[in-house]
Structure 1
């Protein structure tokens, strides 16, 4: 759970490529594990050469066939919509009425986390169905963790295009330039970008939401919709709490723009010896029937802090329980951006988790599981200018 006291990305220790242990690998993508060794450096350049990012995990973590993948995601979205009894396929928790502004989604292989992610992506599809100028996102920022490099800051993708089997997504080079001009962001190279799955697992769902929303607006031009809406992936390193706050405040004015939507990529508890995390319920104030119940209780303690938009309390929770939430740093940065915008009076949101699942129900110390949770942030009706 490494942290860094540095507030700027340093040249000498910008990032180090790690090899996951063989026991943590999963070609089917139950989980991306949690980091590892150190043997290569990510370039500290703030303007590396551009590239087309290939769909590196297609064919293993998700289907490489456009028609098969589209059908699979359609089924997940339909099932999520039917389950929530949502009108028009939106993802609304009770009491939430504002337009969608952000989501939290898991990033395991779709056979594991795809059904859970669908509950969050209903909200993006809803937002993209709005008219242009009335809150429809034109840029989608993806905040994702780093599983393979040591990074003490944040790094933007250097890609111009993100390939997916559904449709290729254009990168928002203008917003990237704005962030790079602050001097606080590094640029990923192609190797680092393509190796990281936590951003990539969001791209097919983003493409699917864009295409479906265009069709829902009355048979809109699919290619034009894909061309108009741009994406900017941002890798968030192993930041200390002060650095999370700093980066959250840097990003806050960008994320509060009415045409920017935020996707936060994170799995939740990685339980089991292969993840080096095997608490069995000690310290819990309630009795649990099995380990799976304890894991859910543990996850929901953190989910509650996220819903309450309390980055400090979320950090305290992580220190207390050491829960293996691999997207804890992207979540922390996003929460600080949310609170900064609320304090500035530029935007206020309500955050609710809309679905939770586990890859398997653990009952013995010899088993393992990964938790998946989806959340949606909507404009609060009680405040905010946006």
Structure 2
């Protein structure tokens, strides 16, 4: 069985189990976090979320909002979609089988779901190598391990192709396989990159509006018109489409902040948003 070993442990998050658990706890209790520890007492009917994927010291508190919101759910399958920053491997790749290892242990890839989604669309290839170096999916998994005590499986999907047509294809295919399972969908993306703080807030506000309306056409229009540097835009769009087809009617912004808001260094920031679909 193939094991996807950590690529960014010790960089984006701590590499020891004890320190990682402590860091995740701090994300939830942080001034920019939800201020309370999971699980959420009253579970919401949440189908999917948008989550940032920077180092925990920057985006962890914002990501904690999405994880707090889904913490009382008990999904059998978590589908995680993110951008392929390295551009290696296939244009769109899921993992067929194996284990995804973090300092908190191993999570099993859902082979049945991978085979099903590959049959639903040949655009999603089954490839291990595509997943070996990137952080966009990896940083989500320790958070999931920490909020869920039950056994769950993952279906990681990583994207080089983030076009509108690809997102439509991915989102529709996800909805088909998710209908037969207790599933949560996670779209992994940061927002504006390396702009001044006030400008980043303005840019990201304009892009978040169509996300909350679940309007993918307008999302791509604003993305291109305002030249917004959200790295996982295809992951966001795929998540919107999947959640909409699975019955979600609205998005809710749980938290938005930039790295500058968190650290105080506001001259060149990255934007982060935690959004839920229900």
Same-fold status (TM-score > 0.5):
yes
Aligned-residue offset at 1:332: 1.3
The answer to whether residue 129 in structure 2 is matched with residue 176 in structure 1 is no
Match of 1:149 in 2: 87
Aligned-residue offset at 1:153: 4.3
Match of 1:271 in 2: 194
Match of 1:218 in 2: none
Q: Out of 107, 117, 124, which is 2:53 matched to?
A: 107
Assess if the C-alpha contact under 8 Å between 2:65 and 2:254 holds in 1: yes
Match of 1:82 in 2: 35
Match of 1:185 in 2: 124
Assess if the C-alpha contact under 8 Å between 1:256 and 1:347 holds in 2: no
Q: Out of 211, 217, 225, which is 1:320 matched to?
A: 225
Assess if the C-alpha contact under 8 Å between 1:162 and 1:170 holds in 2: yes
Change (3 A) 1:78 1:354: same
Match of 1:117 in 2: 63
Counting matched residue pairs gives 271
User: Aligned with 2:72: secondary structure?
Assistant: helix
Give unmatched runs, 5+ long, in structure 2: none
CA root-mean-square deviation:
2.4
Match of 2:277 in 1: 377
Assess if the C-alpha contact under 8 Å between 2:109 and 2:155 holds in 1: yes
C-alpha distance in 2 between matches for 1:229 and 1:115? 23
Give unmatched runs, 5+ long, in structure 1: 1-49, 128-135, 212-224, 273-290, 379-386
Aligned-residue offset at 1:166: 1.6
C-alpha distance in 1 between matches for 2:15 and 2:193? 27
TM-score, structure 2 length as denominator? Answer: 0.89
Q: Out of 147, 154, 177, which is 1:254 matched to?
A: 177
Say which one has the larger Rg.
1
TM-score, structure 1 length as denominator? Answer: 0.65
User: Aligned with 1:100: secondary structure?
Assistant: coil
User: Aligned with 2:260: secondary structure?
Assistant: coil
